[in-house]
Amino acid sequence: MLRPLLALLGLLVALQAQAARTTTPLDAAWRFQRADVAGAEAPGFDDAAWTAITLPHTYNGVDGETGGTPYRGPAWYRRTLDIPAGAGTRRFLEFDGATLAADVWVNGRHAGRHEGGFARFRFDITPLLQPGRNLLAVRVDNTRLPHVAPLGGDFTVFGGLVRPVGLVETPDTHIELMDHGGPGVRVDIETLDTTRARLKVQVQLRNDGSRPAGRELRLTLRDAQGRSVAQQTRRLSLPAGGTDAVTAIVNVPQPHLWQGVKDPYLYRLSAELLDGRDVADTVQLPVGLRQFGVDPQRGFLLNGKPYPLHGVNYFHAGRPGRGVAIGKPEIDEDLRILMDMGLTGLRLVHYQHPAYTYERADELGLVLWTEIPLNSAMEETPAFRDNLYSQLRELVRQNHHHASVAVWGIGNEVYRSDEPIRALLADLHALAKREDASRLTSYAHCCAPDDHPMALQTDLASYNRYWGWYDGQFKDIGPWADKLHAKLPAKPIGLGEYGAGASAIQQEDPPRRPEPGGRWHPEQYQALFHETYAAEIAKRPFMWGTFIWLGFDHAAANRHEGDTTGRNDKGLVTYDRSKLKDAYHLMRAWWQSKPVLHIANKRLSTRPAGTLAIKAYSNAAKATLEVNGKVIGTVDVVDRVAVWPAVTLAAGPATLQVRDDRGSIDRVDWQVEGCAADALGTQRVLQLPREGAAYGSPHARLPLAANEVVLTFDDGPKPGVTERVLQALKAECAKATFFMNGEPMLQNPALAQRVRAEGHTVAMHGHKHLAFGQLPAKDQLADLEAMQKAYRHVIGGDAAAWRFPFLAETPDLRDALRKQNVTVMSVDTGVEDWVQGQSPEVLAERLVKGLREKGGGVVLLHDVHDQTAAALPLMLRRLKQDGWRLVHLQWAEPTR
C-alpha cells in the first residue's frame, strides 16, 4: 500500500508545481491560405474565405508524397487569442516546428522570425498583447532558402505549422525560456559508478519585472516511484530586468542506472522557483543515469560494457495524406512496431524530431543518434554557417537532458569532398563538443574515399553503404568493413545506412536484381539483401552501430520507383504502416530475444505447380516443414534462415506449416496453379543466348519443328486489351513474348509488370510508335536508348531482345544491337492481325492458315487491338485442336 501512496504524493507535488507555469495549446481555430497574401498580418484583414484547419498541419499533404514537384513557397496562418487583463505575467508563443522559416505577427506587429523548420522556438509576445482579443498571424515559407539548411536531400520538405503551437505563461520572474528553445535547466553527469552519481545542475533564471525579486530555488530529484532521493534549496536575488545562472551539485547514492532497453530507469528532476511558500515557476526533466562510450575493437559501450547498437533510420512518423503533420498516437504506433523488432537504437534522420520522440526513447531505452539538416549541399557563406550553428545549438540545448541521446550528428552525405566541407564539418564538431563534451559526434559519409578527411572529423566514422543495390554485390559489405577496420584500427566505424527498395505488392521468387530507380522492386530482393548484410554484420562486433535504411517508407517527392511515385520504398514497413515486409521479420529474428518464426514469401500466394524453395526466418536452431499435413523435413536454421531447397507442390490448395524447436508455429495457405488436362499449355521453353543474334525472316529461322509456334505481341501494353490478352493466355496456360513500346510501358507500369509477373517474356519494341525506317540514324539510336531506359525503369535489368517498329530494320542499328548482345526478332508467318474490320473468327482462321502454309514459326500479334483480343481465344483453341506445340522464348539473365 505504501508504494501507491508515495506515487500519488509525487503526482500531487508535480501537479502543484506545474500549476505555476501554464501552457495552453493553440492548435485549433486557425485559418489558412496557401499563398503569399499581402497585408495578412493586419488585424483588420478579412480571412473569412480561408480554410479552417487544426494543427499540426502541412500544405504539402498531397503533392509532397505523390511525385512531381510539390509547392515550395509561402503560406499564411491566422487565429485570434483572448488575453485577460492583469500585470506580472509573461507570455511566450511556443512553436514546436514551422517549416522552413516563419515570421510571426501579433496585432500587426512583428514578433520575430525563425529560420530552420524542425526545432522548437519561442517569442516573448508580452509587450505586443492587449487585454481582450488579439490577432496572431504566421507566414511560413518552405522555399529553398540559400542560407537555411537543408539545401537538399532525398525527402520532401513539408511546409507548414507541422507541430503543435502553444502559449506559455509564467510570472515575470521565471526559469529562462529564451535559450534556443531549451528548458532553461541542464543536467550533466560528472561522475557515475554503482555506488554514487555526481550531477551538476545548471538553472538559468530571468526577472522581466521592474523590481528586484528575491526567490528560492529548490531542486528535487525523485526516483521512479516519486520518492525524493536528493534535495537542496538556495536563496536568490534577481535584479530588475536581469538574469542569473545557478549551478548546484546533486549527489545520488546507490544510483539506479539507465541500462538501455534492458532497464530504462528514469529519475525526475524538478527545478522550482519559490516566491515565499508558493511555487512561482517550475521545470521538470527526466534524468537517466548512464555513460556512453565507444571502443574501436568492442564497439558501442553503455556504462562501460559492450552494448550491441543496431536499429533503423527513422524518418518521422509520416502518414499518407498528412505528411509529417502528425501527433503522439502516430509516434507511439511507430515505436511499438520498431520495438517489437528488437532494436536497441535509432538514427533520427535528417533533422531534429518532435520532442515526444525523444521522451519516448528515454522511457523505452532506445539509444539515439540525432542530427542537424546539413544534407547533400552547402553554401560557402557566413549566413549558411550561422544557420547551421543555430540549428545545432537548438538540437543540443533542447535535447541535452534526454538519457537516450548518445550521438550528435553534424551532417549527412554532402556531395562534395573539398576543403570547405571538411572545414565546416570540423567546426560543427568543435561546436558540438563545446555545447556538450559528454556525447559523441558523427557524420554520415557516402561519396568520397572512406578515409577522406571529411569522413574523419567526428568522434565516430559512419558510412552509408548499399552494395548489392546501387552497385557491387551483397557480399561486398563484409570485406569492406574488414579492410577499413584494418586501415583505421583506432577509429570507431559503423554503418549509418544500408538497405534496398521493396514493394509489398510486387512479388517474384526468385527475384531478379532490380534497377534502383525502376518501377519493379520485388519484396523478395530486399529480403535477400538483408539476409546477407545481417549475417556479415553479426560477425563484426567492432562496428560501433548499424542502422538500416529505413524503418518505414517515406515521402520523397522526386522519386518514381517501385509501386508508387513520390516514395522511398527502402522501409521495412510500408508508408501507411499496414504491411510488415519480409525483411522486417528477418531482422526481428536477428534482434528479438522472444521466439520468432515467419514463413517468407507469404504474399506470393498463387504459385505454379512444380518444385521450389521454401524459406522461413527463425531465431531457433531447427525448423520442420509440413505441406498439407505431410512432413517434408527438418533443417538447421543458419543465420536465422531455414531453407527447404526443393519442395514439389502439386496443383490445388497448399497449406504450409513450419514449426521450430522453440515451439513457434507459422502457416500460410497458397493456391498452386497447374494446367487443365486439355489446356494448350507451353510444351517447350526455348532459351536463347545473349549474343546479339537475329532470328525470324529475313534472318536465321528459330530452331522450331514444323508443328511448333511462338506467340509474340507488339505495341502494348494497353489497358483493357493487354488484360484481355493475358486472360486468354492464362486460360490455356500459354506463355508469350511481349515486345513493348516505351511510352505505354511508362504510362502503365503496373500492367507491364503484370505481364512479366505472369511468366511471359518482356522485350523491347520502339520507345515511340514511329515510321522507324524514315528516321535519321541518330534518331533511331536515340529511340533505342529511350526504350532501354524505360525498360530498366519499369521492368528492371536490361532487355534481351528488340523488334524493329514496322519491321524497319537498319544495318547500323542492327550492328549496335549486336554489340550490346541484344537479340533482334522478326517474324516468320507473314500474317498480319492489324487489317481492320475482320471478325474474330475470320482473323483466327487467317492466322492458323498462315501457320500451316509456313510450317510453323513466329506469329506477330498486337495487344493494342480489340479484334486481336477477341480472336486470341479462338486461335488458341484451333492451335490445340490441330495439334500445334507452343514454344516460349526466354533469354538468360545477364551476370553481374
DSSP state for residue 262 in the 8-state scheme: G
User: What pairing do the DSSP bridges indicate for beta strands 89-95 and 165-171?
Assistant: antiparallel
Q: Catalogue the active-site residues.
A: 413
Estimate the crossing angle of helix 419-435 against helix 382-399, to 10 degrees.
30
DSSP state for residue 469 in the 8-state scheme: T
Which residues make beta-bridge pairs with 644?
614
Of 365, 428, 426, nearest to 149 by C-alpha is 428
Sign of CA dihedral 857, 860, 863, 865: negative
Peptide bond into 516 cis (omega under 30): no
Using CA atoms, how far apart are residues 54 and 162, in angstroms rounded to an integer? 10
Using CA atoms, how far apart are residues 569 and 152, in angstroms rounded to an integer? 19
Buried b (16+ CB within 10 A) or exposed e, 17-40: beebbeeeebbeebbbbbeebeeb
Using CA atoms, how far apart are residues 371 and 346, in angstroms rounded to an integer? 11
How many angstroms separate the most distant Cα atoms in the chain?
A: 110
Estimate the crossing angle of helix 811-819 against helix 777-794, to 10 degrees.
40
For 728, the grid coordinates are 486468354
Output the DSSP codes for 144-207. Answer: --TTSS-S--SS----B--S-EEEEEEESEEE---STT--SEEEEEEEE-SSEEEEEEEEEEEE
Using CA atoms, how far apart are residues 785 and 685, in angstroms rounded to an integer? 29
Say which residues have a Cβ less than 8 Å from residue 159's Cβ, sequence separation at least 6.
Answer: 58, 59, 60, 71, 72, 73, 75, 99, 100, 140, 141, 142
Using CA atoms, how far apart are residues 211 and 238, in angstroms rounded to an integer? 9
Estimate the crossing angle of helix 523-538 against helix 582-591, to 10 degrees.
20
The answer to whether the beta carbons of residues 554 and 348 sit under 8 Å apart is no
Using CA atoms, how far apart are residues 760 and 765, in angstroms rounded to an integer? 15
Peptide bond into 171 cis (omega under 30): no
For 461, the grid coordinates are 566514422
Which residues make beta-bridge pairs with 849?
none
The answer to whether the beta carbons of residues 47 and 40 sit under 8 Å apart is yes
- Residue 459's Cβ-side half-sphere holds a number of Cα atoms within 13 Å equal to 22
Of 49, 57, 41, nearest to 106 by C-alpha is 41
Q: Cell 524538478 sits at which residue?
A: 270
- Residue 281's Cβ-side half-sphere holds a number of Cα atoms within 13 Å equal to 25
Q: Cell 555513460 sits at which residue?
A: 291
For 583, the grid coordinates are 525483411
